[in-house]
Chain A
Amino acid sequence: MPLLVKIALRNLLERRARSLAAGAIIGVGALVLVAGGAVIDASSRGIRQAFTASFTGDVFIAEKAGAPVSLLGLASEGGPEPAPYLSGYRRILAYARSRPETRAIAAQVTTYAGVNVYGNENREDALATVLFGIEPESYRKAFDNLTLVSGRYLRPGEEGILLSREEEEALRGELGVELRAGDRVSLAGLGRCAFCARDVTVRGIFAFRGLDPLEAASGGGLHIAYVDAATARALRWTVGPPSARDPWSFILVRLKNPADARRYIAGLNGWLATERIDARAGDWKEASGGFGLIADAMRIVFAAGILAVAAVALIVVMSALAMSVVERTAEIGTMRAIGAQRGFIRRMIMVETLAVSLVSGGIGAALGAALVGVLDLARIGVTGSLPRMLLAGPVFRPVVSASSVAWALAAVVVAALFAQIYPVSVALKVEPVRAIQAE
């Protein structure tokens, strides 16, 4: 073992209590980072899966507009409005179909309506609902996300609506009328299409098979219903080229491998620019209209946590090392007197810092991984839509990823490297004459 490493490690052992105290703080920090990283990873994965599998797909294509466009529409100043129709719908569709990464494609047109029991003239009884106008066959291939509680799925070419169980229960609770498949409901347009109205047949009542991310994220205030595209178009103020032959607002693409999404989107946007099509492709976060930002927000909170842990580790390690250097002034002075260059002293302290950080960080990370393993085996049940979405399902299954371990160790090492700056500067100021002064 090189002398430098030998001295550094033995010094750490010699000052066992202080090394253990610093190591314990670093270890706990690494544990928190790894375990926290596993929870965040599981959560991010859960949120992403919930949205991509149920609503947004991996790639979302919409017409460019002056305001942010999501699957819920155009976020204009006066409130949400239907997104414009895609002017290059057919060409985009052909492009998406030609790409080998594509697994399934669905088109959608979104609008809003108040859903009311047929014959009830009181508009205030209507429930505000986001209507997803779809082509049933292709949509079902892309998003097999509904379990029918009663009735059946929409059929190609027919008018009709699929109501969620929650909305049906809300209408029943409010009006005392139980809706069944075959009943009629009235749809009244909202916003600029306040005078638009359609009556449609309830074809089925559904429950979301997995999670209802929109319902979870909005706290239950937002209902989603599926209607045939013609009904949706009839209930919206037409925005976009009136000559659009295929009035769809969105194309949603699901990929064989969701990890290809970024590359796919970049390629598609390049192609759209080359073809001068006034549309753009985005990811599931754009499509979800900000709900997907929950994952980003959690990441930011976690990153802040990493910084806080790193700062604490930094202060603890710095203090421990600085005290150690002060105690060893005579020893360092002696080394300088008998021929140690400043670089040797610098490296010696760096090795001490890294040894404490890596050993205790490694142990902390291993304990963190073990804790995550125990949590995974415990199969902790999760209730409530939001907790379920945030914890990726009805059973909490965190998984340690290599990246969260790497991040934890990197944070610890970076903190250690910063932590040694002050002790090293103290040590480098020790002159050989201090060896003579030692008594």
Chain B
Amino acid sequence: MAIVRLDRVRKTYALGKTEVAALRGVTVDIQRGDFISIAGPSGSGKTTILNLIGCIDTPTEGTVEIDGSVTSGLGDREITRLRQRKLGFIFQAFNLVPVLNVRENVELPLLLGGERAGRSERGAWIDHLVAQVGLDGRAKHRPSELSGGERQRVAIARALVTRPLVVLADEPTANLDSRTAEGIIELMKRMNRELGTTFVFSTHDARVVALADHVISLEDGLVASEERRERSYAAAR
């Protein structure tokens, strides 16, 4: 069963007096454990798809379903709760809270969600994630003291801390050099396999696309092609 389903989704934006169609009837199913790249040139609708799945934008037509819940019609409070519990976010510009250190940034989504797990259990999980992304020696550092790649690793740990169903990453490697970018995608892939978390990331970098198991290519707001390259976590199960 698909954990994310976009059904005939259209999204138009007003640009002055004209309307611009970002998506023109897209239907996509995402399975549990998928490692998907949304590929396509600039303006093809990659970010719009991620925004709709991430419940930070609403479709003009069609429906978005996350883990069986149709998102349209939910109030701000419910949408925020859904994002906090079921989705993780990795941003192009990292978007870490500058006044919090690595460990605190990773812990933040749990605290925002009023996580009730025991302090020690929670601490161990955070430490595990920080170690998994290779930053256990830098847990007390603030974002300004980290490199771009390290910041994105923190963002990955933060996205995973609530054990979400889906992690959405919008151009996660755009601000990184190619070697670091490759490392970040490899890390995401490892997390996908070890934790079973679904990853959906957008990119226009062909080298990054090559690392994905499942590629959805967009062109002018439509799905141009869809390709499964190897057994993903879902298929392996």
Q: A376 an interface residue at 8 Å Cβ cutoff?
A: no
Whether the pair A338, B98 counts as a contact (CB closer than 8 A) is no
Which chain B residues border A431 with CB–CB below 8 Å? 56
Provide the bound-state CA to CA distance between A433 and B77, in Å. 16
Q: B121 an interface residue at 8 Å Cβ cutoff?
A: no
* Nearest Cβ on chain A to B23's Cβ, whole angstroms: 15
Whether the pair A436, B99 counts as a contact (CB closer than 8 A) is no
Q: A301 an interface residue at 8 Å Cβ cutoff?
A: no
Provide the bound-state CA to CA distance between A334 and B143, in Å. 15
Which chain A residues border B76 with CB–CB below 8 Å? 342
Whether the pair B95, A435 counts as a contact (CB closer than 8 A) is yes
Whether the pair A11, B93 counts as a contact (CB closer than 8 A) is no
Q: B180 an interface residue at 8 Å Cβ cutoff?
A: no
Which chain A residues border B80 with CB–CB below 8 Å? 336, 339-342
Whether the pair B97, A6 counts as a contact (CB closer than 8 A) is no
Which chain B residues border A331 with CB–CB below 8 Å? 95, 97-98
Q: A114 an interface residue at 8 Å Cβ cutoff?
A: no
Segment among B4-12, B84-92, B129-137, B223-231 that sits at the interface with chain A? B84-92
Which chain B residues border A436 with CB–CB below 8 Å? 47, 50-51, 56, 91-92, 170
Chain A CB within 10 Å, residue with most, of B80, B98, B107, B170: B80
Query: Which of B84, B91, B162 is within 8 Å of A438, CB to CB?
Result: B91
Whether the pair B95, A11 counts as a contact (CB closer than 8 A) is no
Q: B54 an interface residue at 8 Å Cβ cutoff?
A: yes
Chain B CB within 10 Å, residue with most, of A7, A331, A334, A431: A334
Whether the pair A330, B99 counts as a contact (CB closer than 8 A) is no
Chain B CB within 10 Å, residue with most, of A337, A341, A342: A337
Which chain B residues border A342 with CB–CB below 8 Å? 76, 80
Whether the pair A7, B89 counts as a contact (CB closer than 8 A) is no
Q: B124 an interface residue at 8 Å Cβ cutoff?
A: no
Whether the pair B91, A335 counts as a contact (CB closer than 8 A) is no
Whether the pair B109, A14 counts as a contact (CB closer than 8 A) is no
**Binary interface encoding of chain B residues 141-174 relative to chain A, with 1 for a CB under 8 A from any of its CBs, else 0:** 0000000000000000010001000000010000
Which chain A residues border B100 with CB–CB below 8 Å? 6-7, 10
Whether the pair A438, B83 counts as a contact (CB closer than 8 A) is no
Which chain B residues border A6 with CB–CB below 8 Å? 99-100, 104
Query: Which of A11, A14, A340 is within 8 Å of B112, CB to CB?
Result: A340
Which chain A residues border B99 with CB–CB below 8 Å? 6-7, 10-11, 13-14
Provide the bound-state CA to CA distance between A336 and B54, in Å. 12
Whether the pair A334, B91 counts as a contact (CB closer than 8 A) is yes
* Nearest Cβ on chain B to A432's Cβ, whole angstroms: 4
Which chain B residues border A11 with CB–CB below 8 Å? 99
Residue of A nearest to B56 (CB): A432
Q: B113 an interface residue at 8 Å Cβ cutoff?
A: yes
Which chain A residues border B20 with CB–CB below 8 Å? none
Excluding A3-B111, A339-B112, 5 further A-B contacts by CB distance (< 8 Å) are A13-B99, A331-B97, A335-B108, A337-B83, A431-B56
- Could you list some 6 contacts between A and B, CB below 8 A? A6-B100, A334-B95, A338-B112, A341-B112, A433-B51, A433-B57
